[in-house]
Structure 1
Amino acid sequence: ANILLPTTFIDKYNPNLKQDKKRIDKNFILLFVGYAFFANIEGLKWFIENVLPELENCKLQIIGNGMNKIFTSTENIEVHGYVEDLSQYYYQCDAVILPIFSGGGMKTKTAEALMYGCPIIGTQEAFEGYNLNFDLIGGLANSKTEMINSINRLKNNISIKEKAQIYARDIFKQSFSFERTITDLQQIM
């Protein structure tokens, strides 16, 4: 092979739509995006049973085709099935969680979260194929304790969260934007 291309997206980010300071909900919003696929269901069930009960002032939003048939909305869980436009959820969240323990290859949901400038807390599997500084992006968390600590670190320090948002956008533009892929392809022609 002359070149290996990572998962890429056309950059749809609009900084004017980020709603951190405008939000009424005082909870720290954690977002999971993914359809009702066994690896997503497995990871979310683990998160809901083991991590979410240990978090204070956090709300989990689950977005994905068929997820509303698996999970039920509660006081601190908001479940949506298929939605036309994911951007509003990315703009409103404080962090994306990716508790993925099985699967293969790069997860497009990771690149999408980077595009929207979201801090990410995920497992090794969620970050497969991504060369990231885990402390800057939000956190590598393969256990209950690591997940709780990473979420609380972001929740309790706005400066760390803001740096993670900037880092996510920078990494997306440098490595996972469609424009970057075009540049890489032009270099081999």
Structure 2
Amino acid sequence: MSDEKIIEFYLSDKTIAHKFLNIIFGNPWGYSREVYNKIKKALLLNEISYIFIDHSLLGGFSSILKKFNIEIVVFFHNIEVKYYKDKASVDGFINKLMVNYARRNEKKIVKYADKIICLTNIDSNLLKSIYGRSADLIIPITIEDKFKSLDNLENSSYHLFVGSSFFANIDAIKWYIKNVLPFISSKLIIIGTGMEVLIEQYGQNLNLEIHGFVDDLTPFYQGADFVINPVRLGSGMKTKTIEALMYGKIILGTQEAFSGIEDIEKHEAGYICNQPEEFIKKIENLDNKKFNLKSRDYYLSNFSAEFGYNKLEDFLAS
């Protein structure tokens, strides 16, 4: 596979108006006649073995590309129709339009794809229940290893939440601040693009510190006693859960936070906490060591970039 030619197209809507028109007319994400012609030209001028579609909202492309008689592989990052149903319940009118838009694209990709990849068995089963077809391969989120040595760790004590200000993270951290944080002594540090919006509501105090985007998460992860992920909405795997494992962290999270991650407690890499009392009790009993080798080993064996690449290469070659 490393000797083969790969042609990439990065697709996105150029403007809000362009995105809205694609939604209204049922075109796939990033579609335009110019984009389609460029893809068509690449297919006609090159010997292409298969098309890899890296998002189900691009599903509409599958129906127009299928006539080229090339194998189509799609990667479902989420079951988008569920994602937008959850988002519409808390975040406005446009997401109600996105529910139908997602369903339209996902129906097409399920119909025309030769192979389907999902992140989790949960998503595969949901795909089956909605569209009548399950995944051909389950491959979890894999991320590049950014772990560095543990030298020069500060003696500060805190726990960490990392995530941008999208609806599920905002819901999760507000729930945690209200129901858990007042009853524990450990300081909480929140980091994520756009998370500054919480400062106006909560401020900065002795038990809570809020940051927006930071250039390097490494020192924050390495200095944390443990990591939390109290997310309650959404689908698919949670990248930040895998990231915490990469840094060798104990994770306390909801069942949703560990979607696609089997036996987290058996591997002694984290604990499932769905209720406030469960979070509080586990936090009180943690030994707050800053590095957990079992978390790190679990990442290397199941979620490293090398693991994911090898699994995908075997699948595409079959």
Which whole-Å CA distance do the structure 1 matches of 2:264 and 2:256 have between them?
A: 15
Moved over 4 A (4+): none
1:10 — aligned with what?
Answer: 144
Contact 1:64 1:81 in 2 (8 A): yes
Question: Which structure exhibits the higher relative contact order, with contacts defined as CA atoms closer than 8 Å and separated by 6 or more residues?
Answer: 1
1:13-162 to 2 correspondences below 5 Å: 13-17=147-151, 19=153, 23-25=154-156, 27=157, 29-56=158-185, 58-71=186-199, 72-134=203-265, 136-154=268-286, 157=287, 161=289
Structure 1 alignment gaps of length 5 or more? none
Contact 1:60 1:78 in 2 (8 A): yes
Render the CA deviation track for 1:45-86: whole Å, top value 9, x for unaligned.
111111111112x11000001111223321111110011111
Larger radius of gyration: 2
Q: How many residues align?
A: 178
* TM-score (structure 1 length as normaliser): 0.86
Say which of 268, 292, 302 aligns to 1:165.
292
Render the CA deviation track for 1:64-117: whole Å, top value 9, x for unaligned.
011112233211111100111111111110111001111111010111111111
Which whole-Å CA distance do the structure 1 matches of 2:155 and 2:238 have between them?
A: 31
1:18 CA drift (Å) = 7.1
Identity %: 41
Render the CA deviation track for 1:7-56: whole Å, top value 9, x for unaligned.
1111111133472xxx232x3x1100001111111111111111111112
Q: How well do the aligned residues superpose, as a CA RMSD in angstroms?
A: 1.8
* TM-score (structure 2 length as normaliser): 0.53
